[in-house]
Amino acid sequence: MSQIEVSGLTKVFRQAIKQPGLKGAVKHFFTQQYRDKQAVDGINLTIEKGESVAYVGPNGAGKSTTIKMLTGILVPTSGAVRVNGIDPHKKRMENAGKIGAVFGQRTQLWWDIPVAESFSLLKDIYEIPDGVYRENMKTFTKLLELDEYIHLTGRKLSLGQRMRADLAASLLHNPEIVYLDEPTIGLDIAVKERIRKFIKHINAELGTTVMLTTHDLGDIEDLCSRLVIIDHGKIIYDGELQAVKDAFARERTLHFQLGKPASALAHTLHGIPGIISHEADGNQVSVSFDRFAVTAGEVAGQIMKLAEVVDFRIDEPSIETIIRRVYAGELDLAEMATEERGVV
Ligand SMILES: Nc1ncnc2c1ncn2[C@@H]1O[C@H](COP(=O)(O)OP(=O)(O)OP(=O)(O)O)[C@@H](O)[C@H]1O
Ligand SMILES: [Mg+2]
């Protein structure tokens, strides 16, 4: 049995169509009009204990709706969800003891009491043993700099402080799974880094399963090895992050720093198979190549034959570019998955 098992999961929202103004409200009262919005449309997903999964997709794709069904907040329209063998919606309390959740858009802390007291309330609610609580507070204080703001009430926290406090709150009871819905939204680089480090810690050291939703693709690269992409309520890719990079990043670029001006190389480079383009600027030359036609080593070898190479580096394809192209419909991930399995 996998830790998270989802099959044919669907959520349809009935959205009221209202005309603007009082007249619209009155009209809606008598002749109610609705349309059904298929927010999640028959998804299948299996997640094993200890995995770290990035769940990404454009705005409105159905990510938060999926997470709310996994946490038991929302009831599915159809399909099945099993988390640790139980149905999260039917056994909300049992499920809640084993999971943590952070919704970047809103807090689970109490507004009017200091963060420290919110934490001790959670200790009571979750019946966290003293030893576990003390140990976690010690670790979280170090990793999330709780000292800085633990005495403040929820409403006084800055966004970055609030997010860190929320993360700590969601993990105090050592959950087996943590769902993070945009935990780095609106944060500065330093706080983002800290949060990423923390998430990495709980995943690697404690074996906590992480399901992460984010629009920050740096989060994905830093934290997740598996990528699930959802669009219009349907999963369009589920696999290794590296596989997406490899399959689509045909083009790579090598940048060389040479001992003398690079312009003389230009026409020789033309003759090397697999080279797509090159650009020389002073002692620098950048060579873009098709890595399925020629290896980086071969390209570097050719250049080294022609000139003295002082230094060089290779540009890895950025996942950001790739995913942007997937969203834009330029890359067909379903096709790639089919090719990978050898089904034509
Ligand atoms: N409570 C609701 N009632 C009606 N429609 C809803 C409700 N919640 C979500 N929706 C609709 O369902 C769709 C999916 O929303 P969801 O919040 O899951 O998207 P998302 O992938 O999390 O997007 P984002 O990246 O913007 O957070 C949207 O079209 C949204 O308008
Ligand atoms: Mg969302």
Residue 63 lies in a domain: yes
Confidence of residue 341 (pLDDT cuts 50, 70, 90): very low
Ligand 1 atom closest to the CA of 63, numbered from 1: 21
Pairing, β 78-83 against β 275-281: unpaired
Which region among 29-43, 108-122, 159-173 has the lowest average model confidence (pLDDT)? Answer: 29-43
**Residue range(s) defining the domain that contains residue 275:** 250-316
229 CB under 6 A from ligand 1? no
Q: Helix 130-144 vs helix 159-171: angle between axes, to the nearest 10 degrees?
A: 150
User: Pocket of ligand 1, candidates 35, 37, 56: which has the most ligand atoms within 8 Å of its Cβ, to mutate?
Assistant: 37
233 CB under 6 A from ligand 1? no
254 and 155 both lie in a single domain = no
Residue 338 lies in a domain: no
Kindly state the percentage of the chain with pLDDT values over 70.
Answer: 91
* CA 55 to ligand 1 center in whole angstroms: 14
Q: Evaluate whether 147 touches 141 at the Cβ level (below 8 Å).
A: yes
Cβ contacts of 147 within 8 Å, gap of 6 or more? 141
Nearest ligand to residue 228 Cα? 1
* CA 310 to ligand 1 center in whole angstroms: 53
11 CB under 6 A from ligand 1? no
Decide: helix, strand or coil at residue 150: coil
Query: Residue 230, CB half-sphere, CA atoms under 13 Å: how many?
Result: 29
Question: Could you read off the pLDDT of 41-71 as tens digits, one per residue?
Answer: 999 999 999 999 999 988 899 999 999 999 9
**Ligand 1 atom 12, closest CA:** 39
221 and 257 both lie in a single domain = no
327 CB under 6 A from ligand 1? no
Which region among 108-112, 133-137, 294-298, 331-335 has the lowest average model confidence (pLDDT)? Answer: 331-335
220 and 155 both lie in a single domain = yes
CATH number where 269 lies: 3.30.70.100
Domain termination residue (choose one: 227, 245, 263): 245
Residue 78 lies in a domain: yes
Q: Evaluate whether 257 touches 283 at the Cβ level (below 8 Å).
A: yes
Residue 93 lies in a domain: yes
* CA 297 to ligand 2 center in whole angstroms: 43
CATH number where 93 lies: 3.40.50.300
Pairing, β 4-16 against β 34-47: antiparallel
Residue 107 lies in a domain: yes
Residue 326 lies in a domain: no
110 and 212 both lie in a single domain = yes
**Ligand 1 atom 17, closest CA:** 64
Q: Evaluate whether 298 touches 304 at the Cβ level (below 8 Å).
A: no
299 and 233 both lie in a single domain = no
205 and 144 both lie in a single domain = yes
Closest CA to 168 of 114, 218, 109: 109
Instruction: Compute the average pLDDT of residues 229-234.
Output: 92
Distance CA(33)–CA(19), nearest Å, equals: 10
175 and 83 both lie in a single domain = yes
Q: Evaluate whether 260 touches 245 at the Cβ level (below 8 Å).
A: no
pLDDT at residue 278 in the model = 83
Find the Cα–Cα–Cα–Cα dihedral 104, 212, 187, 206, rounded to 10°: 100
Residue 32 lies in a domain: yes
61 CB under 6 A from ligand 1? yes
* CA 295 to ligand 2 center in whole angstroms: 40
* CA 17 to ligand 2 center in whole angstroms: 22
Question: Could you read off the pLDDT of 171-182 as tens digits, one per residue?
Answer: 999 999 999 999
147 and 223 both lie in a single domain = yes
* CA 66 to ligand 1 center in whole angstroms: 10
pLDDT at residue 126 in the model = 93
57 CB under 6 A from ligand 1? yes
Q: Which two tokens stand for residue 147?
A: 């000292």
Domain termination residue (choose one: 245, 270, 285): 245
Residue 144 phi/psi, 5-degree rounding, is -115, 10
Distance CA(12)–CA(212), nearest Å, equals: 23
183 and 296 both lie in a single domain = no
179 and 54 both lie in a single domain = yes
189 and 255 both lie in a single domain = no
**Ligand 1 atom 2, closest CA:** 13
* CA 264 to ligand 2 center in whole angstroms: 53
Instruction: Say whether pLDDT at 38 is over 70.
Output: yes
Instruction: Compute the average pLDDT of residues 305-319.
Output: 82
User: Pocket of ligand 1, candidates 15, 64, 184, 230: which has the most ligand atoms within 8 Å of its Cβ, to mutate?
Assistant: 64
- The number of folded domains in the chain is 2
260 and 237 both lie in a single domain = no
37 CB under 6 A from ligand 1? yes
* Cβ-based burial of 27 (10 A; exposed 0-12, middle 13-18, buried ≥19): middle
Question: Could you read off the pLDDT of 103-133 as tens digits, one per residue?
Answer: 988 888 999 999 999 999 999 999 999 999 9
* CA 58 to ligand 2 center in whole angstroms: 9
Residue 341 lies in a domain: no
User: Pocket of ligand 1, candidates 65, 180, 219: which has the most ligand atoms within 8 Å of its Cβ, to mutate?
Assistant: 65
Q: Evaluate whether 286 touches 276 at the Cβ level (below 8 Å).
A: no
